[in-house]
A and B are shown apart, each in its own frame.
Chain A
């Protein structure tokens, strides 16, 4: 007994965070990806497909820098250069936009889907291999572009059947702009940043010095959009911080006008995990799911100072949790000897047929064993009654 377990363990054990996805989950995931991509394509985003592995230097540029400690590295025996397996696809699409598609007219709309690999799992997700679907809108600095990316993300998730969506909007450059106004010892600054990240108002009051009143008011303006916007209105801010907040207000108005029913929350001080964003950023949530469906925002692709982009990434592992369990497979069992052309019309109509490969005595039992829901008999589809065995 223990020997067989060891043998099974040897063959079946996968490295931590990697898994085989079985039926019906693998099929569900593939259908979901195609649904999501199709909806972004319908909004004018064209699909690109970057390679799984590329040179480390290009993978860690611009928005990729944040993934540096999560990238699997290997050496390319051909070029003797270090390569990385992508931990995020945004940076790859940004690279395509700024190199091969440099002369393509702006705004450039691109979308993608694919696997990413991470050396360490997220704290919430044990998976190290994950599937992303995303879209990038490159070369437009307008508030309309910020709003479009959010709206397309929302509509894309909704088209796949995700309910109870909400969006949380952030302005990652806001806190750095406010902090630029004061001179604090670097150790205090680090503690202040940590306190802001944890929304620890008492510590912000204690550490914030001259900007403490502004910071605490920004912290208090977290929550549903109407209350948050009115709380933000009267705050006295440096010019670039004010400009960033005005942009937030504008984008909220655009999103709310297009999606009056959508739950919108604001979090002007959120910065953790959004460090590379240079403008409006956001997280997409669905009620009842314990984490983000996706996130995105404005960034500067690959260090080109004249280019700006915004985009979203959706995480399939989380999106799948937001969806109801799909219906069981409906399949028609075609007993041994059924000519294939006689069931061709079923397949053409999108039905699934399973061909019997040898004669059996009890066709219905064999159909159930093959997990079919009906049998092809006398030129007709006959539904199987309730299953007698307890499979």
Chain B
């Protein structure tokens, strides 16, 4: 297992990708044309910089590619970095895009009628079992997490659980499903993250990219 000679930047598919495209341009990173083709089956893309490739992966996988050194840099949501809280990953730049927050939510009647002081064990549906467990453990509550990959807002109404921990952007999805926010766990935004070994063994090119992203974020 040896690292690729080229530096690899992992970008998340979906919501954040659109938001960071202007940042990439400002940082002087120009992907090849196939990158913009939504129908392309290609997963790895060249850039104008012969020393830099881009891979497009699922948002949650950016941290995994990065931790194992398969990617050297990644744009990753701070929610994902928090979930995988990995000592091999640094997150030096807040890109200040893709803002939302992580929240605990429950049906309005549950939220009204109960006293959080009395919780000892809860069942919570979430995409973020580690964050959820840590959050409740810090409050002395044993949380049994049900890992779902989407449509979390359905879970309380269908009796799967009474609470969810999920990303909230505008709150309209919660509202549409009769849920209210009980507590805000963390603010979320996109970060530039780097692999520790890559930063230590190839400090010049990695620091150069970090600097370019920092400038690009500042100029926004």
Contact = CB atoms under 8 A, between A and B. Distances in A.
Nearest to B86: A123
Interface stretch (B51-59, B129-137, B145-153, B196-204): B196-204
B174 to A, nearest CB: 26
A124 B90 contact: no
B171 interface: no
Interface in B89-117: 89-94
A124 B67 contact: yes
Contacts of A222: 199, 203, 207
A305 interface: no
Classify chain A: how many residues form its interface, as a range. Answer: 20 to 34
B68 A265 contact: no
Contacts of A223: 203-204, 207
Interface in A146-178: 164, 166, 168
B87 A321 contact: no
Nearest to B206: A223
B88 interface: yes
A199 B91 contact: yes
A200 B92 contact: yes
Contact of A291 (B69, B92, B199): B69
Contacts of B69: 290-291
B1 interface: yes
B95 to A, nearest CB: 10
Contacts of A289: 1-3, 197
Contact of B88 (A123, A201, A224, A288): A123
B88 A199 contact: no
A272 B91 contact: no
Contact of B2 (A224, A285, A321): A321
A166 B2 contact: no
A57 B202 CA distance: 41
A273 interface: yes
Interface in A4-33: none
Nearest to B214: A201
A222 B195 CA distance: 14
B204 A224 contact: yes
Given A203-B94, A267-B200, A290 B68 contact: yes
The residue among A124, A166, A198, A222 with the most chain B CB atoms within 10 A of its own CB is A198
Contacts of B67: 123-124
Interface in A308-336: 321
A292 B199 CA distance: 12
Classify chain B: how many residues form its interface, as a range. Answer: 20 to 34
A103 B197 CA distance: 41
A265 B203 contact: yes
A283 interface: yes
Contact of A201 (B87, B92, B195): B92
A273 B87 contact: yes
A43 interface: no
Contacts of A273: 87
B34 to A, nearest CB: 27
Contacts of A272: 87
A292 B197 contact: yes
A198 B200 contact: no
A272 B203 CA distance: 19
A290 B68 CA distance: 7
B92 A265 contact: no
Contacts of A292: 197
The residue among B3, B69, B88, B200 with the most chain A CB atoms within 10 A of its own CB is B200
B187 to A, nearest CB: 11
Contacts of A168: 200
Nearest to A224: B203
A287 interface: yes
Interface string B71-88: 000000000010000111
Interface in B117-138: none
A314 to B, nearest CB: 16
A197 B92 CA distance: 10
A123 B197 CA distance: 14
B91 to A, nearest CB: 4
A233 interface: no
Contacts of A164: 201
A202 interface: yes
B197 A291 contact: yes
Contacts of B2: 288-290, 321
Nearest to A168: B200
B3 A290 contact: yes
Contacts of A290: 1-3, 68-69, 195, 197
Given A123-B86, A290-B1, A290-B68, A285 B92 contact: no
Interface string A201-217: 11100000000000000
Nearest to A270: B196
A321 B91 CA distance: 27
A198 B90 contact: yes
B200 A265 contact: yes
A198 B1 CA distance: 26
Given A199-B90, A200-B191, A288-B2, 10 more contacts: A123-B86, A123-B87, A164-B201, A197-B87, A200-B93, A201-B92, A201-B93, A265-B203, A285-B197, A290-B2
7 contacts: A164-B201, A166-B201, A198-B92, A201-B93, A265-B200, A265-B203, A289-B3
Among all A-B residue pairs, the 4 with the closest Cβ atoms: A290-B69, A199-B90, A288-B2, A223-B203
Interface of A: 123-124, 164, 166, 168, 197-203, 222-224, 263, 265, 267, 272-273, 283, 285-292, 321
